Amino acid sequence: MLPFEDDEPDGSTIEGLIYLVERQHGVLLSVATGTAIDSENNAIYKRRRRKVKSGLERVGIDDPYPWLDLYEWWNYCAAPRYTTYQERRGFLNSVTEPVLEQLERRKTGVTDWAEDAEPTWPLIVHATRGIEARDPHGEHDRRVARRWKTGPRDHHRRGRFCF
């Protein structure tokens, strides 16, 4: 049985979100490595999931755990997709670590790259997050894609994308 604290944070602060994501990671990891799913653990996961999902949405970070309940998680992570505990742990860590890193950066106030740093696709996506809300038909996305063409005729455009 996994412990659940009634006084868990609600996810309204970065520290609270970090705590909740780490706890949710622990629940998913325990199921992925052999802990039986019971109704109590499933209810804990679902309650915590609502907090994590809404808190991450509020700060503009994608939810790393899209599974509605622990049964759905088990169906996703079980064989034939991941056949060993190590593979399951590796997958779970690979979706959790980036979220925790983003939250830590926000906690310390570091949310953007330095002026002399080379922008990478994840940084560009982060910087342009929310454009869909302002441009629901995706016109901006098509313009960005045209600017980033890397075909032989477009070599003169490469790297000229600026914010």
Assess whether pLDDT exceeds 70 at residue 71.
yes
* pLDDT of the residue at 30: 95
Taking residues 40-44, what's their average pLDDT? 94
Q: Is the pLDDT of residue 86 over 90?
A: yes
Q: What pLDDT is stored for residue 123 in this prediction?
A: 63
Q: Beta-carbon neighbour count of residue 78 at 10 Å?
A: 13
On the question of pLDDT at 70 being above 60, the answer is yes
Task: Tell whether 104 and 116 lie within a shared domain.
Answer: no
- Residue 141: inside a domain, yes or no? yes
71 lies in a domain? yes
Q: What is the pLDDT of residue 155?
A: 45
Task: Let me know if residue 5 belongs to a domain.
Answer: no
Predicted structure pTM score: 0.65
For residues 99 and 154, membership in a common domain is answered with no
- Looking at the fold, whether 87 and 136 belong to one and the same domain comes out as no
pLDDT above 60: residue 130: no
If asked whether residues 70 and 86 sit together in one domain, one would say: yes
Q: Residue 73: pLDDT above 60?
A: yes
Full domain range(s) for residue 86: 14-108
Per-residue model confidence as pLDDT tens digits over 89-122: 999 999 999 999 999 988 887 555 555 556 667 6
Residue 9 lies in a domain: no
Q: Is residue 33 part of a domain?
A: yes
Are 89 and 124 in a shared domain?
A: no
The total of structural domains in the chain comes to 2
